[in-house]
Amino acid sequence: MGLHIGIIMDGNGRWAQARGLVRTQGHREGLKVAKQIVKAASDLKIDFLTLYVFSTENWKRTADEVGFIMGLVRQYLKSEFNFCRENHIRVRHTGDLSRLPTDVAKDIADVCRDTEMFTGMQVILALNYGGRDEIVRAVNRALTGTAGKEIDINETVIADHLDNPDIPDPDLIIRTAGEYRISNFLLWESAYSEYYISEKLWPDWSGADLAEAIENFQKRERRYGGASYLSAPGVSHE
């Protein structure tokens, strides 16, 4: 289908709370749903799916909760290789790997390498990810790559030094649990993304909700800063 969809998977804690469960139970359920959504997106022939798993701000949570989420991520990375092979799914990462626990960083690097040859959908795990942090790291990479020569920073230079410069900008960003916030997700890349807010909590999500979000997106008219009488997208927004 040629689409890049980003998802802010929100509401695990509230889902658990509403059932008198501990927050971590919500994350466990959230992981099950994430797996279902990856399968549904792959079946719908989505090209890129970016999942916001852990933000640079999520370290503020208790050590127990952070440890639990990291454990879930490691379990997921280790158990999904066959699923990825069967569905030709390539796993990638965005975020600051250098500030993740070394075991988690290694598991991510391993799965990215082991699935590199798969040519179906790409799942990008945003883990220790912050949109501002990614832009800062991109600028630093651009500056350190010049061997001391002065360069002009412009949009192309920044875009070329993002974590995954080959991946197209997201067409659609979905957020669950009824929050109308971007929360530092794909700040640079989402300049022209469409947004879809679902009132449902993430653990209540299903493939049908994803299909509904895509259907809603497909009815929209994207003008990229132009006007509807202009035929081609991508025109200047100046």
Identify which of residues 111 and 214 has a Cβ nearer to ligand FPP in the complex: 111
Shortest distance, position 1 Cβ to ligand FPP, whole Å: 21
Q: How far is the CB of 34 from ligand FPP (least distance, A)?
A: 4
Q: Which is nearer to ligand FPP, 74 or 141 (CB)?
A: 74
- Residues at the contact surface with ligand FPP, assessed by CB under 6 A: 9-14, 27, 30-31, 34, 51, 53, 58, 69, 72-73, 76, 177
- Give whichever of 43 and 224 is closer to ligand FPP, judged by the CB atom: 43
Task: Please say if 184 is a catalytic residue.
Answer: no
- Give the whole-angstrom CA distance, residue 151 versus residue 137: 16
Packing angle of the helix pair 63-79, 23-43 (nearest 10 deg): 30
Q: How far is the CB of 169 from ligand FPP (least distance, A)?
A: 21
In the set 58, 87, 164, 216, the catalytic residue is 58
SS3 141: helix
160: its two tokens: 């070329």
State the amino acid at position 138 in one-letter form.
Answer: A
Closest of 211, 163, 154 to residue 189, by C-alpha:
163
Please say whether the beta carbons of 78 and 109 come within 8 A. no
Decide if 96 is catalytic. no
The residues annotated as belonging to the active site are 10, 58
